[in-house]
Amino acid sequence: MKMSQLFTRTSKTAPADEQAKNAQLLIKAGFIHKEMAGVYDYLPLGSIVLNKIIQVIREEMNAIGGQEIFLSALQPKDNWEKSGRWHDDAVDVWFKTRMHAGEGYHLGPELGLGNTHEEALTALMRNFIKSYKDLPSYPYQFQTKFRNELRSKSGIMRCREFIMKDLYSFSRDQAQHDKFYEKTKQAYLKIFERLGLGDITYLTFASGGSFSKFSHEFQTITDIGEDTIYVHEGKRLAINKEVYTDEVLADLGVAKEELVEKRAVEVGNIFTLGTRFSEPLELTFTDENGDVKPVIMGSYGIGPGRIMGTIVEHFADDKGIVWPKEIAPARVYLASVGVSDQVVKVADELYKILSEANIEVLYDDRDARPGEKFADADLMGIPYRVVISEKTVAHNRCEIKTRTAQEAQLADASDVIKMVAA
């Protein structure tokens, strides 16, 4: 991609109405735009990053048998009444609206904008799950969730509209459920590893429900987090403050002295639902003996947008964003310095060579001064910066440096390909 064609621009000043580092940097760099409190637009570069995060999650969900679907955001109220979650006393984050009823402004049936999809999917699966042979099944989606938070905050970390990956497991019995539950745990850990958050993300024990003692959260250590957790570094686990009791400590075989209190953000969670939804929504199957039984369910969420914000918070330095390679909007920031025909020609050529080697390049071909280009390269957090200037052209080389390195080094185009591909 060429900077001269990118419609967004960077800003020297952070917006006054954002306090959170993630929002300040993402807006300065032109990755996102704020529509209103807790509602953000993703611009070209932000969209690329978000989709890369989504792709990592997608690959890992597919690897454990997930089948991608895409459910509607508009929800009829029937299913929610069956589960008892339509009433505002039960769920206080509803955005509700109504259909039209004929001409004019007559109000028709009530609708809700989905804040989660247990009800919708459970009802849907009644059409397909009839027999034990239909189980297990693992549909998942990346969907916009709407939650009318009392207070959105922390930039893109707590939004009223946000993308969530939600997978739901449908199993015939507890054993089958437990097996998959363990698999998702590992898949989740792998996801955070791939996204560069492995070291600071902990499997965290949190409150369960009627069907399990615990649910499991994936908590990433960050100051901007809203949760307090107690980390056991040796065992790579943590305990959410909400279940931090002597009994739980004994259960998990950890001593108080081994735990360290930290602030963290919940980037994912997995939850055993049991028959919480299959019973009221009558999702049942017939087993080998002809017995009709309710399906055992689980739900597994991850917030790609929240992960994006967390990554910005964690890796950013005083110059701007620092993206991990796997999700950076481009691998290389190619900057031409100077406007001589030679420089432009060599930079254009290198852009072509890198592109043909399938290396994603953000090519700063603008007629701008070097300082501005370097500052933007840093702000946007591209992993490698490659510079073509009179000096480098004279040596028939180019200059390369990583985002966080102090010094650059000279290299051939072939070296560059090798270095950035690693």
Partner RNA sequence: CGGGGUGUGGCGCAGUUGGCUAGCGCGCCUGGUUUGGGACCAGGAGGUCGAAGGUUCGAGUCCUUUCACCCCGACCA
Interactions with RNA, residue window 71-100 (CB under 7 A): 92-93
Interactions with RNA, residue window 193-222 (CB under 7 A): 217
CA-CA distance, 173 to 126, in Å (whole number)?
17
Residue 42 main-chain phi, psi, to 5 deg: -100, 120
Residue 381 to residues 196, 291, 368, 374, Cα–Cα distance (Å): 14, 58, 19, 11
Window 16-35: contact mask with RNA (x via CB under 7 A)? xxxxx---------------
Residue 349 interacting with RNA (CB under 7 A): no
Please check whether residue 267 is in contact with residue 302, taking contact to mean a CB–CB distance below 8 angstroms. Answer: yes
Q: Least distance in Å: CB of 179 to RNA?
A: 23
Q: Least distance in Å: CB of 383 to RNA?
A: 14
Which residue's CB is nearer to RNA, number 164 or number 281? 164
Q: Least distance in Å: CB of 291 to RNA?
A: 33
Residue 281 to residues 77, 83, 126, 284, 388, Cα–Cα distance (Å): 13, 7, 9, 9, 63
DSSP per residue, 113-125? E-S--HHHHHHHH
Residue 359 interacting with RNA (CB under 7 A): no
Q: Which of 333, 399, 400, 416 binds RNA (CB under 7 A)?
A: 399
The stretch near RNA (CB under 7 A) out of 46-54, 278-286, 289-297, 383-391 is 383-391
Q: Which of 89, 234, 367, 422 binds RNA (CB under 7 A)?
A: 367
Residue 158 interacting with RNA (CB under 7 A): yes
Please check whether residue 334 is in contact with residue 1, taking contact to mean a CB–CB distance below 8 angstroms. Answer: no
Q: Which of 135, 164, 347, 350 binds RNA (CB under 7 A)?
A: 164
Kindly determine how many residues on this chain lie close enough to bind RNA according to the rule CB under 7 A. Answer: 61
Which residue's CB is nearer to RNA, number 181 or number 285? 181
Residue 136 interacting with RNA (CB under 7 A): no
- 67 in helix, strand or coil? strand
Q: Least distance in Å: CB of 296 to RNA?
A: 20
CA-CA distance, 230 to 260, in Å (whole number)?
5
**Is the Cα dihedral 270, 276, 282, 287 positive or negative?**
positive
Q: Which of 334, 337, 362, 386 binds RNA (CB under 7 A)?
A: 337
* Burial class for 333, CB neighbours closer than 10 Å (0-12, 13-18, 19+): buried
CA-CA distance, 417 to 402, in Å (whole number)?
13
Cα–Cα nearest to 323, from 219, 401, 402? 402
The stretch near RNA (CB under 7 A) out of 15-23, 64-72, 126-134, 354-362 is 15-23
Q: Which of 77, 82, 126, 153 binds RNA (CB under 7 A)?
A: 153
Length of the chain (residues): 422
- 342 in helix, strand or coil? helix
Window 241-280: contact mask with RNA (x via CB under 7 A)? -------------------------x--x-----------
Q: Which of 5, 13, 210, 358 binds RNA (CB under 7 A)?
A: 13
Q: Which of 139, 298, 305, 329 binds RNA (CB under 7 A)?
A: 305
Residue 378 interacting with RNA (CB under 7 A): yes
Residue 408 interacting with RNA (CB under 7 A): yes
Q: Which of 392, 416, 417, 420 binds RNA (CB under 7 A)?
A: 392
Strand order in the sheet with 361-364: 361-364, 332-336, 384-388, 398-402, 409-411
CA-CA distance, 278 to 125, in Å (whole number)?
10
Q: Least distance in Å: CB of 213 to RNA?
A: 17
Could you tell me where the beta strands, DSSP code E, fall in 152-259?
161-171, 201-207, 214-221, 227-232, 237-240
Which residue's CB is nearer to RNA, number 162 or number 285? 162
Cβ-proximal residues to 409 (8 Å cutoff; 6+ apart), any chain? 399, 400, 401
CA-CA distance, 76 to 277, in Å (whole number)?
16
Q: Least distance in Å: CB of 378 to RNA?
A: 5
Which residue's CB is nearer to RNA, number 149 or number 261? 149
| Sites of contact with RNA (CB under 7 A) | 9-20, 36-38, 92-93, 147, 149-155, 157-159, 162, 164, 217, 226-227, 266, 269, 301, 303, 305-306, 319, 337-339, 367-372, 374-376, 378-379, 387, 389-392, 399, 408
